[in-house]
Structure 1
Amino acid sequence: MKKEYKIGLSIIGLLLLVFTFTDMNISNAVYNPESKFGLIFEAIGEFPSAIIATFCTVSLMLTREKDKSIKYNLGTVGYIVLLIFFSLMASMIPVKYLHGPKALIPILMAIYITVSYVIAKKCATTHKEELRRAAIVGILTFIFVIIAFNSIKFLWGRERYRHMIEVGSFAGHSMWFIPQGFASGNEFMSFPSGHSANAAIMAWITLIPTFVTSLKDKKSWFIRFAILWTLLVPVSRIVVGAHFASDVTMGVTITLVIFTLLKNKYINNLEEKDAIHMFI
C-alpha cells in the first residue's frame, strides 16, 4: 500500500475514533435547521454526482466499438436506461429542493444530455481511450457508491440528530459502529451520509486533465475544488442535523475508497503499462 494511502486511512481512522465520543457535542454546537448554508448545500450537494454519471454514460456510448451484434444492441438499451435514470436524477434534485416546477425536469434532462454529448464528442475525437477510462471510473464509482451507502443505511438504522430534537429525546443515540437493526424510516438512516458520499464523487473531476490535455497544468485546481466541495457538503449536513460527524466521515470514506480502487485499476495501472511499453 502506498504511503499516502496509509496516511489517509490513518487520518480517517483517527477522525472516526474522535467522533465516537464527540458526535453529540459537535451536533449540539452547530445545529441550525434554518442555516442558509446548510439548506443550499442540501439542495445542490448531490447534484454534481448525477451530472458526472450522465456525462460518463454518454462518453461510454460514444467511445465503444460499433458493430451489429446482439450484445451491442442490448448494450445500447442498457446505456439508454442508465442515461435516463442519471439525467432524471440530476434534474429532480434541484427541482425537489429548490421547489421548482416539475415541467422543468424533461427540459433539464435534454440540456444535460445534449451538453454532455457535445463535450464528450469533442474529447472523443482526440483522446478516445483516455475519455473511456475516465468514464468507466466515473460510472462505476457512482453505481457502487449508491449501492454501498444505501445498503448500509438500511441495515444500520441509526437515528438522525434532527429527529431526536423533534421528539425531544436523545435516548436513541448510538455510537456509529453499533448497528441498530433495519431502518424503520428515513429518520433512522443517518449512517452513513448519502449526501457526503455523493459529494465526494467530485473527486472524479481530477481525471478531466487525462482526456483534456490542455488542462493538465490546471490539475491542482481541480483537486482543490474537489476537496473544498467534499468538505462543505458534509459540514452542511451536520449543521442541519441530518447527520453526525461520523456519518459524513464514513460517507466520504466509502466513495474515496471505491474511487481510488477503480482509478488504480482503469487509469493508473494502464498508464504505468503504457510508460513501460515506451521503453520496450
Structure 2
Amino acid sequence: MKKSYKIGLLIIGSLLVIFAFTDLQISKAIYNQQSTFGFIFEAIGEFPAALIASFCSMSLMITRNKDRSVKYILGTIGYSVLVVLFALMAAMLPVKYLSGPTLLIPLLAILYVGLFYIIAKKYTKTNREELRKAAIVGLLTFVFVTIAFNLIKMGWGRERYRNMVATGAFEGFSMWFIPQRFTTNNEFMSFPSGHSANAAIMIWITLIPTFVTSLKDKKNWFIGFATLWIVLVPISRIIVGAHFASDVTMGVTVTLVIFTLLKEKYIKKENIKDKEKISSINT
C-alpha cells in the first residue's frame, strides 16, 4: 500500500474517532437550517456526479469496436438509456432544489447529451483507450457508490440532526458505529451522507488529463478544485442538519476508496504495462 494511502486512512480513522465523541456538539454549534451556503450546495452538490456518469456512459458507448452483432445493438440501447437517464438526473437536481421551471429539465438534458457526444467524439479520435479507461472508472464509481451508501443508510437507521431539532428530542442520537435498525424513513438515513459520497465523485476530474493531453500540466488545478468541492459540500450538509460530521466523513471515504480501487485496476496497471512495452522496444 502506498504511503499516501496509509496517511489518508490514518487521517480518516482519526477523524471518525474524534467525531464519535463530538458529532452532536459540532452539529449544535454550526446548525443553521436557513443557511444560504447550505441551500446552494444542497442544490448543486450532487450535480457533478450525474454529469460525470452521463459523460462516461456516452464515452463508453462511442469507444466500443463497431460491429453488427446483437450484443453491440443491445449495448448501444443500454448505454443510450444510461446517457439520457443521467443527463436528466443532472438537469433535474438543481432545477428541483432551486424551484426552476420544469421545462428546463429536458432542455438541459438535451444540451448535456449533445455536448458530451461532441467532447467524447473528439477525444475518441486522439486518445480512445485513455478516454475509455477513465470512463470505466467514472461510471463504475458512480454505480458502486450509489449502491453502497443506499444499502448502508437503510441498514444503519441513524436519525438526522434536523429531525431531532424538529421533534425537540435528542435521545435518539447514536454514535456512528452503532447500527440502529433497518429503515426506509429518510429522516433516519443520516449515515453515511449520500450528498457527500456523490460530491466526492468529483475526484474523477483528476483523470481528465489522462485523455486530454493538453491539460497534463494542469493536473494540480483539477486536484485542487476536486478537493475544495469535496470539503465544501460535506460542511454544508452538517450546517443544514442533514448529517453529522461522521456521516459526511464516511460518505466521502466510501467514494474515495471505491474510486482508488477502480483507478488502480483500470488505469495504473495499464500505464505500467505501457511503460514496460516502451522500455522493451527501446532496448
CA distance in 1 between counterparts of 2:247 and 2:127 reads 38
Q: CA deviation at 1:123?
A: 1.1
Q: How does 1:57-206 map onto structure 2 within 5 Å?
A: 57-206=57-206
Q: CA deviation at 1:184?
A: 4.2
CA distance in 2 between counterparts of 1:131 and 1:240 reads 38
Amino acid in the other structure paired with 2:78: G
The residue aligned with 1:207 is: 207
CA distance in 2 between counterparts of 1:95 and 1:3 reads 42
Q: How does 1:246-265 map onto structure 2 within 5 Å?
A: 246-265=246-265
CA distance in 2 between counterparts of 1:258 and 1:196 reads 14
CA distance in 2 between counterparts of 1:221 and 1:84 reads 29
Q: CA deviation at 1:175?
A: 0.5
CA distance in 2 between counterparts of 1:125 and 1:83 reads 20
User: Are 1:5 and 2:13 an aligned pair?
Assistant: no
Q: CA deviation at 1:102?
A: 1.2
CA distance in 1 between counterparts of 2:241 and 2:89 reads 24
For the 8 Å contact 1:176–1:191, the answer to whether it is kept is yes
Q: CA deviation at 1:219?
A: 0.3
Task: For residues 59-113 of structure 1, give each alpha carbon's deviation from its aligned partner in whole angstroms, at most 9, with x where no partner exists.
Answer: 1111110001111111111112211221111011011100011111111110010
Q: Answer with 237-246 or 61-70: which moved more.
A: 61-70
Task: For residues 10-55 of structure 1, give each alpha carbon's deviation from its aligned partner in whole angstroms, at most 9, with x where no partner exists.
Answer: 1100000000000000000000000100000000000000001111
Secondary structure of residue in 2 paired with 1:242: coil
Q: CA deviation at 1:263?
A: 0.4
CA distance in 1 between counterparts of 2:211 and 2:104 reads 32
TM-score (norm 2): 0.98
Q: CA deviation at 1:277?
A: 0.9
The residue aligned with 2:22 is: 22
Provide runs of 4+ in structure 1 moved above 4 Å.
Answer: none
The residue aligned with 1:269 is: 269
For the 8 Å contact 1:158–1:183, the answer to whether it is kept is no
Q: Answer with 168-177 or 82-91: which moved more.
A: 82-91
CA distance in 1 between counterparts of 2:183 and 2:35 reads 27
Amino acid in the other structure paired with 1:219: K
CA distance in 2 between counterparts of 1:23 and 1:267 reads 37
Secondary structure of residue in 2 paired with 1:279: helix
Amino acid in the other structure paired with 1:211: F
CA distance in 1 between counterparts of 2:45 and 2:147 reads 18
Amino acid in the other structure paired with 1:167: T
Q: How does 1:214-233 map onto structure 2 within 5 Å?
A: 214-233=214-233
Amino acid in the other structure paired with 1:47: F
CA distance in 1 between counterparts of 2:85 and 2:116 reads 15
Task: For residues 211-262 of structure 1, give each alpha carbon's deviation from its aligned partner in whole angstroms, at most 9, with x where no partner exists.
Answer: 0000000000000000000000000000000000000000000000000000
The residue aligned with 2:37 is: 37
Give the alignment's Cα RMSD to 1 decimal: 0.7
CA distance in 2 between counterparts of 1:197 and 1:150 reads 10
Q: Answer with 116-125 or 204-213: which moved more.
A: 116-125
For the 8 Å contact 1:145–1:197, the answer to whether it is kept is yes
TM-score (norm 1): 0.99
Amino acid in the other structure paired with 2:199: A
CA distance in 1 between counterparts of 2:55 and 2:195 reads 20
For the 8 Å contact 1:48–1:199, the answer to whether it is kept is yes
Secondary structure of residue in 2 paired with 1:102: coil
Secondary structure of residue in 1 paired with 2:87: helix
Task: For residues 141-162 of structure 1, give each alpha carbon's deviation from its aligned partner in whole angstroms, at most 9, with x where no partner exists.
Answer: 0000000001100111100000
Secondary structure of residue in 1 paired with 2:218: helix
The residue aligned with 2:47 is: 47
CA distance in 2 between counterparts of 1:188 and 1:88 reads 27
Amino acid in the other structure paired with 1:39: F
Gaps in structure 2 of 5+ consecutive residues: none
